[in-house]
């Protein structure tokens, strides 16, 4: 979500006349879009600001802005600790950045503006997209849940749903620009519709994405097990361009810990959803998030997590060691666990999951896969003379670029190949390609063009094929 917010900040600044600083040039404006979810976010921010101070002293007129979750949390504390910062803006007023920069320049003093609720849905702001072939589209912001470890509700506020017509118009605009894949974004995508009274809205949205010409892959993140309904599984299985990939946070396999986390589902419900997903889509790749060492977690609780992880057969899991987030209820809980206990459990969990990921990946050897060629996903590609891409189920595949190639293969093109080896965290396809399709996204990538969406705010909450707003490189959208 923060990455997508950064695309909006870039889009707004470009619309206000700013241009991207060349790599070897000192920028006139530096914007930090901060995240408060990861540990030590504040140390890293103040460290970065400290490192930037000499550059600012040597470059009169340079401006530094800090936005995002940490700014929403720390507010004027930021300019108290780093008085060389010019602008502080929060999660609810991204759109104010150009004005605040202008005002700080004019008044020659720091501007701090934090709002308590959303000023305008962020997707009504322009966005300068980073990828020519893959795009984020927000369906909602904020969250109505109260998971005790999570700072999001405090910093992003209550859930605000975007109108389906607006979401679909943005998806259409991206598809018109050649984008092949969209990921629908929300803190809890399955709750989508709660604001306008349609609990089945998310499944309908997936089906409507299926009607958008040129759109080949639809993903979403993240669903909450409590709100996961059968109609979403049906929509996933029955809509050809919706990928058979599900990222659904489990967090813990212990019902006692789930209760303490205020996660209102239990492990049997979670596993039951996975069974239904696999029944409808036997090829589904399922991934998750896990927290180890939540306050009060016993060895028995941890064993329950290992047990669910083995039964769930996740393709991969994002595993986190619990650490306190000031301002969250869990930070105040007794029985915070010693670091060495958390570390030891974390290593055991990672070992179990790695073994599972590897076993599942080895089972894919010999399978024919369609890959969307990606940029920057294979660190060793130059050395191994391979390229990389994502399969429809989201798996990363490093492939040999030989065989049925139609001229050069570019990021954004589609290839077909056969898996020859499974590693714990990726797949390898070292045979010849059976197909290569050049795409508009690949052409755009080659020309150095990226989609620019101008923000969409159209129509009433309805479903169906949307009227497409124009989205151009200059961004005159709708």
Footprint of ligand SF4 on this chain (CB under 6 A)?
143, 145, 147, 150, 152-153, 187-188, 224
CB of 146 to ligand SF4, least distance (A): 6
Whether residue 400 contacts residue 432, with contact meaning beta carbons closer than 8 Å, is answered with yes
CB of 147 to ligand SF4, least distance (A): 3
CB of 68 to ligand SF4, least distance (A): 15
Whether residue 114 contacts residue 88, with contact meaning beta carbons closer than 8 Å, is answered with yes
Distance CA 372, CA 413 (A): 6
Give whichever of 131 and 221 is closer to ligand SF4, judged by the CB atom: 221
Distance CA 150, CA 35 (A): 12
The DSSP annotation for 6-73 comes to: HHHHHHHHHHTT--PPPTTS--SEEEEEE-SSSTTHHHHHHHHHHHHHHHHHHSTT-EEEEEEHHHHH
Nearest to 133 by CA among 67, 189, 79, 177: 177
Element housing 369 (H / E): strand 368-373
CB of 185 to ligand SF4, least distance (A): 12
Q: Which residue has the tokens 């650490």?
A: 323
Distance CA 203, CA 73 (A): 34
Give whichever of 165 and 223 is closer to ligand SF4, judged by the CB atom: 223
Please tell me whether residue 267 adopts helix, strand or coil conformation.
helix
CB of 328 to ligand SF4, least distance (A): 9
Whether residue 118 contacts residue 92, with contact meaning beta carbons closer than 8 Å, is answered with yes
Give whichever of 251 and 417 is closer to ligand SF4, judged by the CB atom: 251
Give whichever of 41 and 78 is closer to ligand SF4, judged by the CB atom: 41
Binding site: which residues? Answer: 143, 147, 150
Distance CA 360, CA 66 (A): 42
Distance CA 332, CA 311 (A): 32
Give whichever of 145 and 323 is closer to ligand SF4, judged by the CB atom: 145
User: What are residue 417's DSSP bridge partners?
Assistant: 369
Please tell me whether residue 308 adopts helix, strand or coil conformation.
helix
Distance CA 390, CA 370 (A): 8
Give whichever of 159 and 166 is closer to ligand SF4, judged by the CB atom: 159
CB of 143 to ligand SF4, least distance (A): 3
Distance CA 144, CA 200 (A): 17
Give whichever of 265 and 314 is closer to ligand SF4, judged by the CB atom: 265
Give whichever of 256 and 348 is closer to ligand SF4, judged by the CB atom: 256
Give whichever of 133 and 228 is closer to ligand SF4, judged by the CB atom: 228
State the burial class of residue 184 (Cβ atoms within 10 Å of its Cβ: 0-12, 13-18, 19+).
Answer: buried
CB of 150 to ligand SF4, least distance (A): 3
Distance CA 108, CA 322 (A): 42
Nearest to 126 by CA among 216, 234, 212, 6: 6
CB of 439 to ligand SF4, least distance (A): 34
CB of 324 to ligand SF4, least distance (A): 15
Binding site for [4Fe-4S] cluster: which residues? Answer: 143, 147, 150
């Amino acid at each position: 979500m923060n990455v997508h917010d950064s695309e909006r900040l870039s889009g707004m600044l470009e619309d206000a006349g700013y241009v991207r600083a060349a790599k070897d040039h000192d920028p006139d404006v530096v914007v930090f879009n901060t995240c408060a979810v990861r540990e030590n976010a504040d140390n890293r921010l103040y460290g970065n600001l400290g490192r930037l101070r000499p550059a600012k002293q040597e470059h009169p007129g340079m401006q530094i802005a800090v936005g995002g979750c940490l700014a929403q949390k720390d507010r004027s504390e930021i300019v108290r600790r780093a008085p060389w910062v010019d602008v502080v803006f929060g999660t609810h007023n991204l759109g104010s950045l150009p004005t605040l920069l202008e005002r700080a320049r004019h008044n020659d003093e720091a501007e701090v503006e934090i709002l308590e609720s959303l000023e305008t849905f962020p997707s009504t702001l322009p966005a300068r997209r980073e990828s020519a072939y893959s795009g984020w589209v927000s369906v909602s912001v904020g969250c109505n849940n109260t998971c005790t470890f999570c700072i999001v509700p405090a910093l992003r506020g209550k859930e605000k749903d975007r109108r389906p017509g607006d979401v679909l118009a943005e998806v259409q605009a991206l598809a018109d620009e050649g984008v092949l894949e969209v990921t629908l974004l929300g803190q809890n995508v399955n709750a989508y519709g709660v604001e306008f009274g349609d609990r089945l809205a998310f499944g309908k949205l997936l089906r409507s994405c299926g009607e958008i010409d040129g759109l080949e892959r639809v993903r979403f993140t993240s669903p909450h097990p409590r709100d996961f309904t059968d109609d979403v599984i049906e929509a996933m299985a029955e809509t050809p361009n919706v990928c058979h990939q599900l990222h659904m946070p489990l967090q813990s396999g212990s019902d006692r810990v789930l209760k303490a986390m205020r996660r209102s589902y239990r492990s049997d419900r979670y596993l039951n959803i996975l069974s239904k997903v696999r029944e409808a889509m036997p090829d589904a790749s399922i991934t998750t998030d896990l927290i180890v060492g939540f306050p009060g977690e016993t060895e028995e609780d941890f064993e329950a997590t290992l047990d669910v992880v083995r039964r769930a057969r996740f393709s991969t899991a994002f595993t986190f060691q619990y650490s306190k987030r000031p301002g969250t209820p869990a930070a105040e809980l007794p029985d915070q666990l010693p670091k060495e206990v958390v570390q030891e459990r974390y290593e055991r969990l990672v070992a179990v999951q790695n073994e599972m990921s590897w076993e599942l990946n080895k089972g894919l050897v010999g399978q024919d896969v369609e890959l969307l060629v990606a940029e920057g996903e294979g660190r060793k590609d130059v050395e191994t003379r391979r390229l990389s891409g994502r399969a429809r189920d989201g798996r990363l595949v490093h492939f040999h670029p030989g065989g049925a190639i139609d001229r050069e293969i570019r990021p954004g093109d589609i290839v077909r190949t056969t898996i020859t080896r499974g590693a714990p965290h990726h797949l390898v396809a070292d045979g010849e390609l059976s197909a290569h399709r050049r795409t508009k996204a690949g052409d755009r990538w080659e020309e150095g063009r990226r989609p620019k969406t101008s923000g969409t705010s159209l129509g009433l909450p309805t479903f169906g094929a949307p009227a497409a707003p124009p989205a151009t490189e200059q961004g005159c959208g709708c």
